[in-house]
Structure 1
Amino acid sequence: MSVRGSNRKVNRITSGVCMFINGLGTANPPYRYSKADCWEAFKTSKWFQRLDLRSHMIMETVLKKDNGIESRSLAVESLDEVFSIDPDTLHGRFLDNAPALGATAGGAALKEAGIDASAIDGVVISTCTGYLCPGLTSYVIERLGLRTDVLAFDLVGQGCAAALPNWRLAEALLSTGSCLNVLSICVEVSSAAMYLDNDPGVLISACLFGDGAGAAVLSRHQNPQRRSIEWKGFASLINPAERDALFFETRQGMLRNVLTRTVPRLAAGHAQQVLNTVLNGANLKPEDISAWIMHAGGRDVLIALQNQLKITTEDLHYSADMLRLYGNMSSAFIYFVLQAALKDNAKPGWWWVSSFGAGFSCHGALLKAA
């Protein structure tokens, strides 16, 4: 499949330094809601009267039929709060929840890695659902008790794709010799980027996204007490010609997610190009991949990936399982999928990780699992 505007070289990097994933952690708000819960809350909200009949039909179709998602964690004690949509409320929701979620996931990753917070030399945090200055690193450093001389980087604007660029920056920090351990965190409070109008893409987006955070301890040396997962190669494809297919815009001081019908096709086409680039460079074939750790934008995206990459439903079951349980958590999603594969003791060998999102962008990483 050709991708418009993407006849450019895919940027491939063969890792020149050892980087191991020594610990993983995830976190969600304590409040979980089913599709049925969301539909009932929408019907009784003021937005039901504000939106037109076509919008009612779209919301009912997405929330009452199989869309690959059964429940989502949202940072609200009641779904009534979701429909309070104004800039101050949404910013307050992000401020109240993003630092806590990021620190909880980060603390879990540190515990699994078996290291103290003082051993972290760098911290990289990605988000796209809110803005703070100073950034989230300031809050997480404080909450986790990281050293005050830690190298801290806040990354924004990469959307669902952000996890792998985050890890690539961690690899660069490790390669300089200035860091032995980097804490990577992606945290998204999608309920803080809530927006509703009669645009079908906006409505579908409101039904897909959940709140969550993922974290990884990325280190130059393997932790001998845990399974070896080593980063071996990386590639990126940034295609600005398709920028309008998926992005946030600001309206009335709030983030509005623009989601178009072309996203599944674009995700699959870009994912194919990035996969081919890395596998060809490593003299591997798709059948050499023993575990697929894929971002799931939604059910239709997973179907497109399966068809494009010529893999099976079983190959994507970790992604499908996490989508069903948590919805699309944007950049944090990949951590949950990788965690699921590790908990399931997925087959050793070559693992493929891929994320894609705003831009239009796609990234892929080759891991070697012992």
Structure 2
Amino acid sequence: MKPVSATLQGIGVAVPPGRLDQDAATALAQARCCTDERERAWLRRVYRHSGIRKRGSVLIGPEHDTAGFERFYPVPATTEERGPTTATRIQRYVEEAAPLGERACRAALEQAQAKVASITHLVMVSCTGMVSPGLDAQLIQRLGLSPDIGRLNLGFMGCHGALNGLRAAEGLLQASSEGRVLLCCVELCSLHFQYGWDMQKVIANGLFADGAGAVVLDGIETGDRQGWRLVETRSRLAEDSSEAMTWRVGNHGFEMTLSSEVPKRIRGALRPWVEQWLAEHDLRLGDVRHWAIHPGGPEILRAARQALALPEQASHASEKILAEHGNMSSPTVLFVLERMRRAGASGPCVVLGFGPGLSFEAALLR
């Protein structure tokens, strides 16, 4: 039997209506993380050089009202306070994540011109909330999907989760050539804001945001519904890097560590891995027309460009998404692809993501 080619027929994205500009985010963070002017000055530099202008948060009200954020994260009376418990944060996730995911899914379905009844499988990706029944069950009800639909939840994979989701969707289509998969990534990173003075956590506070992305994939490639074809996905776990980036459950939210070694590791290991992979498809770096690089932050983008000897414009789409939305973890690279698709980008396109491990994930689109 001939292998089925998974095709990205529609991509949809969604952000919370409440937006937070970087100046307001800086002030909120200083009040909850800093104890003296030296710390406040360092935090200001981190936020100023983050590459972010605005970001979405389910805690921010219309007209950029920060009152919801301030209620959820009250200013600490002592340096020992760490904000809401993990249980409180997860409860807010349960309330907020599904509506955001639904909006992204409906946008993807509309672009794909796909009826809800045609969806045979749902792949759900999230690393900022854990509950069962989960978002898959909520989306089945909210979208009107079949109760018999095949479901798969991918959790706690971090910023490259969408690429793992694409791999899972491709596998489902190989098993069911007449299938159609809806992939949905939802992250509410703002629910894991960390109190206190810890430089790695301050950096994470300054980068992450809320958002959702969705993709409709099937094995059909005809007429007006022709889309990017998923040629292959590839994964690599970097050696001796297990502590370079971590994402763990704490008593007061999920806690991230981001080592300053991450860009160095990317510069050292990314190019030979990507070159060998592309060569298997008779491609060289110069044959790739577009690069959808997950914007983990300015240093991550710079390291990827340097490693692959790419021109600055190769990461422009990623930089714009980072500036307009922040790092939304797993859905962020779908925002990059959605922007490229609207601009008429064509293949070959390489999608890259980096996550805890330190792990590299890639997808080749045609």
Same fold by TM-score greater than 0.5: yes
Q: Does 1:27 align with 2:25?
A: no
Paired with 2:178 and 2:38, the residues of 1 have a C-alpha distance of: 54
Q: Does 1:36 align with 2:39?
A: no
Paired with 2:103 and 2:291, the residues of 1 have a C-alpha distance of: 26
Question: What is the CA distance between 1:270 and its match in structure 2?
Answer: 4.4
Q: Does 1:360 align with 2:358?
A: yes
Paired with 1:333 and 1:167, the residues of 2 have a C-alpha distance of: 14
Matched-pair contact (CA < 8 Å) for 1:130–1:192: no
Gaps (5+ residues) in structure 1?
Answer: 1-14
Paired with 1:67 and 1:276, the residues of 2 have a C-alpha distance of: 29
Paired with 1:287 and 1:345, the residues of 2 have a C-alpha distance of: 19
Question: What corresponds to 2:238 in structure 1?
Answer: 239
Q: Does 1:152 align with 2:144?
A: no
Question: What is the CA distance between 1:269 and its match in structure 2?
Answer: 4.0
Matched-pair contact (CA < 8 Å) for 2:8–2:227: yes
Question: What corresponds to 1:11 in structure 2?
Answer: none
Question: What corresponds to 1:115 in structure 2?
Answer: 114
Paired with 2:224 and 2:269, the residues of 1 have a C-alpha distance of: 37
Paired with 1:30 and 1:240, the residues of 2 have a C-alpha distance of: 41
Question: What corresponds to 2:198 in structure 1?
Answer: 199
Question: What corresponds to 1:72 in structure 2?
Answer: 55
Secondary structure in 2 matching 1:186 = strand
Question: What corresponds to 2:79 in structure 1?
Answer: none
Question: What corresponds to 1:94 in structure 2?
Answer: 93
| Alpha-carbon spacing, 1:235–1:138, altered in 2? closer, same or farther (3 Å) | same
Question: What corresponds to 2:77 in structure 1?
Answer: none
Matched-pair contact (CA < 8 Å) for 2:317–2:340: yes
Question: What corresponds to 1:62 in structure 2?
Answer: 46
| Alpha-carbon spacing, 1:338–1:244, altered in 2? closer, same or farther (3 Å) | same
Give the % identical residues: 30
Paired with 1:268 and 1:170, the residues of 2 have a C-alpha distance of: 30
Paired with 2:333 and 2:284, the residues of 1 have a C-alpha distance of: 22
Paired with 1:154 and 1:145, the residues of 2 have a C-alpha distance of: 18
| Alpha-carbon spacing, 1:234–1:324, altered in 2? closer, same or farther (3 Å) | same
Question: What corresponds to 2:141 in structure 1?
Answer: 142
Question: What is the CA distance between 1:42 and its match in structure 2?
Answer: 3.4
Paired with 1:268 and 1:189, the residues of 2 have a C-alpha distance of: 29
Gaps (5+ residues) in structure 2?
Answer: 75-82
Match of 1:351 among 330, 349, 361: 349
Question: What is the CA distance between 1:123 and its match in structure 2?
Answer: 0.5
Task: Report the more deviating stretch, 235-244 or 314-323.
Answer: 235-244
| Alpha-carbon spacing, 1:144–1:352, altered in 2? closer, same or farther (3 Å) | same
Aligned 1:173-212 pairs, distance under 5 A: 173-177=172-176, 180-212=179-211
Question: What is the CA distance between 1:250 and its match in structure 2?
Answer: 2.7
Question: What corresponds to 2:5 in structure 1?
Answer: 18
Paired with 1:312 and 1:82, the residues of 2 have a C-alpha distance of: 43
Secondary structure in 1 matching 2:240 = helix
Question: What corresponds to 1:3 in structure 2?
Answer: none
The aligned amino acid for 2:14 is A
| Alpha-carbon spacing, 1:90–1:52, altered in 2? closer, same or farther (3 Å) | farther
Question: What corresponds to 2:80 in structure 1?
Answer: none
Paired with 2:245 and 2:38, the residues of 1 have a C-alpha distance of: 22
| Alpha-carbon spacing, 1:327–1:81, altered in 2? closer, same or farther (3 Å) | farther
The aligned amino acid for 1:18 is S
| Alpha-carbon spacing, 1:315–1:227, altered in 2? closer, same or farther (3 Å) | farther
Paired with 1:176 and 1:185, the residues of 2 have a C-alpha distance of: 20
Question: What corresponds to 1:105 in structure 2?
Answer: 104
Question: What corresponds to 2:219 in structure 1?
Answer: 220
Paired with 1:330 and 1:223, the residues of 2 have a C-alpha distance of: 32
Secondary structure in 1 matching 2:224 = coil
The aligned amino acid for 2:293 is M
Question: What is the CA distance between 1:97 and its match in structure 2?
Answer: 1.4
Question: What is the CA distance between 1:228 and its match in structure 2?
Answer: 2.6
Task: Report the more deviating stretch, 257-266 or 209-218.
Answer: 257-266
Question: What is the CA distance between 1:236 and its match in structure 2?
Answer: 0.6
Q: How far does the alpha carbon of each residue in 1:134-187 deviate from its partner, in whole angstroms, 9 at most, with x for none?
A: 121111111111101110011112100111111101111000126520001111
| Alpha-carbon spacing, 1:286–1:127, altered in 2? closer, same or farther (3 Å) | same
Question: What corresponds to 1:8 in structure 2?
Answer: none
Paired with 1:198 and 1:184, the residues of 2 have a C-alpha distance of: 37
Question: What is the CA distance between 1:48 and its match in structure 2?
Answer: 5.0
Task: Report the more deviating stretch, 51-60 or 280-289.
Answer: 51-60
The aligned amino acid for 1:67 is S
Question: What corresponds to 1:168 in structure 2?
Answer: 167
Matched-pair contact (CA < 8 Å) for 1:141–1:147: yes
Question: What is the CA distance between 1:82 and its match in structure 2?
Answer: 5.5
Matched-pair contact (CA < 8 Å) for 1:196–1:206: no
Matched-pair contact (CA < 8 Å) for 2:33–2:202: no
Report how many residues are paired: 349
| Alpha-carbon spacing, 1:193–1:41, altered in 2? closer, same or farther (3 Å) | closer
Question: What is the CA distance between 1:275 and its match in structure 2?
Answer: 1.7
Secondary structure in 2 matching 1:162 = helix
